[in-house]
Structure 1
Amino acid sequence: MKTVEFNLPTKIEAGNGVFTETGAYLQGAVKGKRIFIVTDPGIEQVGFVAKLEQILKIEGYVTKVFNQVKPNPKDADCIVGGKAALDFRADAILAIGGGSVIDSAKAIAIIKSHGGGPQDYAGRDNVPDGVAPLIVIPTTAGTGAEVTRSSVITDTDRKIKFTIKAVQIAPVLAIVDPELTYKLPPHLTASTGMDALVHAIEAYTCKLSNPIADGLALQAMKHIYPYLRRAVKNGEDQEARYNMMIGSTIAGMAFSHADVASVHCMAEAIGGLYDTPHGVANSMFLPYIVGYNAEVEIEKHATIARTIGIAKESDPDQAAANLLVNEMKQLAEDISIPSFASLSEVKEEDFDYLAESAYNNGSTPSNAREINKKNYLQLFQKAYLDN
């Protein structure tokens, strides 16, 4: 019997149109009026940042925008952002964007409060108290970072990713508005949506799963899977967008209280080396890890198949698990996830390094099935040759 701790320090405001109430929500979440906004050029270009500044100005807030976040957030950019937030004398950090923006904002909040660089706080529980409060407005239905206490940053010198895990960087407030995803292009809807599905599947199947996280993970799957193809096909399908956004947030709660596993280990390996967007990388490897794990962890994979409605209760576990493996590959194809081999930067001579990097990832021990460097190498080769 497992002892379970579940701590969600984030207040969630979720629903269509809640973005317009951001100023009012901040009143009870932070002290002070100086808000340092972290975003990226794309989010700024679509007008979300200007609208946000107008909303906050009405409530008397003073803002400064930092828009230097890149995909797979970089350590150097976080240091620049942390110093800028300190110079601005920010009372709070507000992230508006996808997972890269949110992870950057978490690192910026630490650096603003305690100095140094992101690597100084890598690992679990290495962040001192007194971090600047963080408010998060996600613009993709993918990472669930609005409710997690982790930040994944790229070490640009070593070309690897590292993770900061600490409850101190959990956002104090998440404003989850599906309407912000309506204009997200199909390829980003696809990759971020698969990312959310990965979070739910790995939270449920990993060795650190627990009854509370399991319930959240299964519920997240019910929101994500039936609506992912619809959201990709029609970005303004309100029902699909609502369910994807809510499902992504629930999946974030699930994996942050369990763990991710080998899909993320492989994805972060190629993200560190090739700078591959995280959602795309996760999407590429999900079918292969599901297939690898389902060979031994049959019951849980069969439960997933029944939960998302592709297997019947009467189907034997093995048959249900097989259906899941096939459907994960079909789903990726249907929503035009690019293949691993299609990445122009991929070189077979890198596979040994990638396998080593994946194996050394802190989430490797959490994978449902024991996995070693040789297994990772075989999976990279399989993903490459299958396409």
Structure 2
Amino acid sequence: MMAFQAALPRIIRVGGGVSRDLPSLLDMLGLDRPLIVTDRFLADSGKAAMLVEGLKAAGINARVFADTVPEPTAASIEVARAFLEAGEHDCVVGFGGGSPIDSAKAIAVLAVHGGQCRDYKAPHLQDQSGLPVVAIPTTAGTGSEATRFTIITDEVSDEKMLMAGMAYLPVAALVDYELTLTMPPRLTADTGIDALTHAMEAYVSRKANAFSDSFALSAMRAIAPNLRQVWADPQDRAAREAMMFGSMQAGIAFSNASVALVHGMSRPIGAHFHVPHGLSNAMLLPAITAFSAPAALKRYADCARAMGVADRDEGDQGAVGKLIDELERINAELQVPSPAAFGIDASQWDRLLPVMARQALASGSPGNNPLVPSEAEIIALYRRVWAAGA
């Protein structure tokens, strides 16, 4: 077995209602001046206020920053950092989907180390820690509560910057599936496919290892049978719980291996056309899997078996064929729009393909793919994804 390094949040609490453990968790960590970073929806719905009230009852005063944006930008991070620096905070609580948690991670690093987000983009590795981050996810998708990455858009260059290193790994995570019961169907589908993509890419990544493999396979087993169920019946608590647990495991898997070509190509779509991250992954996943599978047939066949779409004794080639069919079926049944159906302009898509391909390669993620593409191959794949949905 090859040598590898594994890293996890120091504390992970999982289960219905564990978000209410925030006061006791902070006490255990010796922290008592939190900034809660969330979004307008969670503030207006009263969910953020419930966290604040719970803390207040324990004698902890928290301030709330609720102006994160759906795909965080360098400018939005600067506004949040200024808010944090106006208080005497000793930690940051990321409360929400991937965007508030990603924002919390970036703010926590910049507050200690200074500079701008672009100073920290990959290949820079930020291992020296910032303020402690506690993550409380409200979607079953990004796995950001357990990863050493954050994604921030440079709005000047329209580039989604990958920021990586141990500094972004939350010190603790409270994984409470009850927070996902009110997720709307579109968000449920997009974040669920995002989590499935994390697990698959971690498993086929060139950086995969025995530790990440175990979490990736377990995540696929949890997500695949429940993805359609949470779309069809949002109140199915058992299915929501399985999705939340699978999402966290997928986050652990790719944080300790890597993502690959789907994510590399997905980020430019999000940056240039404002497509939500999980949705752009979903648009790409079937075509990129078909492109990559010949270079890692057994690995992709293992994914098919873990997802329950191929029998254990089925040959690898047949299993991979069933996997690609299943990914296309998921997109159809969960009404994933094509780039054209999402409203992207065909001429603008075509014009930006060389830029998007260069940005995809520059992120480093395609280099972890079983089959590493050239810039021309990435452009051809973008064209194939467009043509499939046109």
**TM-score of the superposition, structure 1-length normalised?**
0.97
Task: Tell me the residue number matched to 1:42.
Answer: 41
- State the 1:291 CA deviation: 0.8
- State the 1:70 CA deviation: 0.9
RMSD between superposed Cα atoms in Å: 1.3
Task: Tell me the residue number matched to 1:372.
Answer: 374
Separation (CA, whole Å) in 2 of partners of 1:382 and 1:46: 41
The reply to whether residue 316 of structure 1 matches residue 315 of structure 2 is yes
Q: Secondary structure at the match of 1:62?
A: coil
Q: Deviations over 1:323-364 (max 9, x none)?
A: 001110111111111112213234322222222222222111
The reply to whether residue 10 of structure 1 matches residue 10 of structure 2 is yes
Separation (CA, whole Å) in 1 of partners of 2:124 and 2:3: 19
Write the mapping of 1:142-161 to structure 2, written as runs, cut at 5 A: 142-161=141-160
Task: State the one-letter code of the partner of 1:286.
Answer: L
- State the 1:273 CA deviation: 1.2
Q: Deviations over 1:201-237 (max 9, x none)?
A: 0000011111110111000001111000001111110
- State the 1:123 CA deviation: 2.4
Separation (CA, whole Å) in 1 of partners of 2:192 and 2:105: 22
Task: Tell me the residue number matched to 2:271.
Answer: 272
In structure 2, stretches of 5+ residues that fail to align are: none
Q: Deviations over 1:156-210 (max 9, x none)?
A: 1000011111112211110000000000000000000000000000000011111
Separation (CA, whole Å) in 1 of partners of 2:130 and 2:292: 38
In structure 1, stretches of 5+ residues that fail to align are: none
Q: Give the fraction of aligned pairs with identical amino acids, expressed as a percent.
A: 36
Q: Deviations over 1:295-338 (max 9, x none)?
A: 23211111111111111122111011110011101111111111
Separation (CA, whole Å) in 2 of partners of 1:316 and 1:97: 42
Please tell me whether the aligned partners of residues 203 and 217 of structure 1 are also in contact (alpha carbons under 8 angstroms): yes
Task: Tell me the residue number matched to 1:27.
Answer: 27
Task: State the one-letter code of the partner of 1:386.
Answer: A
Please tell me whether the aligned partners of residues 220 and 251 of structure 1 are also in contact (alpha carbons under 8 angstroms): yes
Please tell me whether the aligned partners of residues 198 and 250 of structure 2 are also in contact (alpha carbons under 8 angstroms): yes
Separation (CA, whole Å) in 2 of partners of 1:166 and 1:96: 21
Alignment length (residue pairs) = 386
The reply to whether residue 96 of structure 1 matches residue 89 of structure 2 is no
Q: Deviations over 1:90-143 (max 9, x none)?
A: 111011001111111101101222222212222256436351111110000000
The reply to whether residue 349 of structure 1 matches residue 348 of structure 2 is no
Q: Deviations over 1:255-295 (max 9, x none)?
A: 00000001001110111112211111111101111111112
Q: Secondary structure at the match of 1:68?
A: coil
Write the mapping of 1:82-231 to structure 2, written as runs, cut at 5 A: 82-124=81-123, 126-127=125-126, 129-231=128-230
Task: State the one-letter code of the partner of 2:263.
Answer: H
Separation (CA, whole Å) in 1 of partners of 2:157 and 2:10: 33
- State the 1:51 CA deviation: 0.7
- State the 1:39 CA deviation: 0.7
Please tell me whether the aligned partners of residues 35 and 93 of structure 1 are also in contact (alpha carbons under 8 angstroms): yes
Separation (CA, whole Å) in 2 of partners of 1:355 and 1:91: 40
Task: State the one-letter code of the partner of 1:230.
Answer: Q
